[in-house]
Amino acid sequence: MLIGSAAIIAFVLILLAWAWRRPEGKGADERVWTLGLGVGFVMAVLVALVGYGFWVGERILPRSDGAVRVAAEARQWGWAFRQPGPDGQPLETQEVLYVPAGVPIDIEITSTDVIHSFWVPRLGGKMDAVPGRVNVARLMAHTPGEYEGLCAEFCGLGHSFMRFSVIVYEPGAFPDLSNRQTGGADE
């Protein structure tokens, strides 16, 4: 967006300078400007943006292909996750979500109090966490590592601290949990 808006501002400034300095009596063809730039350019940009939005949005839709399901429960102010653990048994964690790399995961997102929003900026779009409702978002991480997640819906005084980590591991190589706090009570 920054690059796009900078390009548009630069373009407008060039047009302004050009209008200021153009020789007397030498006008441009209004039709080119009105239809070409006023309609054609704008429509091309909008179509590209909407197309990109559909592409990004479609990627986070769940599909019925038997993907692993993980539960994410938001609260004021933190996240509880239930995911398959190292031994295949469900593992409950606070503020840390473990997902295997290269495997699609469907995250069932809900909330116990107010509306929050699940967001891992480097891995995909946002999904609201709504009390009494389960929204499912698909998440797919290709590269192992640690990714930052956060609440993307203002939910009270602790909102800005409502962060979590997504640990992406090589399938079959679940990270060592012994030196990491995974349980823990609510603050």
Strand partners, 93: 81
- Residue 116 interacts with Cu ion (CB under 5 A): yes or no: yes
| Pair 100, 140: CB distance under 8 Å | no
The residue within the footprint of Cu ion, chosen from 97, 137, 162, 166 (CB under 5 A), is 162
DSSP symbols for 105-145: EEEEEEESSS-EEEE-TTT---EEE-BT--EEEEE---S-E
Please tell me the distance from the alpha carbon of residue 99 to that of residue 90, in angstroms, as a whole number: 13
Residue 148 CB, nearest approach to Cu ion (Å): 15
The residue within the footprint of Cu ion, chosen from 91, 151, 166, 168 (CB under 5 A), is 151
Nearer residue to Cu ion within complex by CB, 81 or 100: 81
Which region, judged by CB under 5 A, interacts with Cu ion, from 4-12, 87-95, 131-139, 146-154? 146-154
- Residue 120 interacts with Cu ion (CB under 5 A): yes or no: no
Residue 181 CB, nearest approach to Cu ion (Å): 21
| Pair 115, 155: CB distance under 8 Å | yes
Residues that bind Cu ion (CB under 5 A): 116, 151, 155, 162
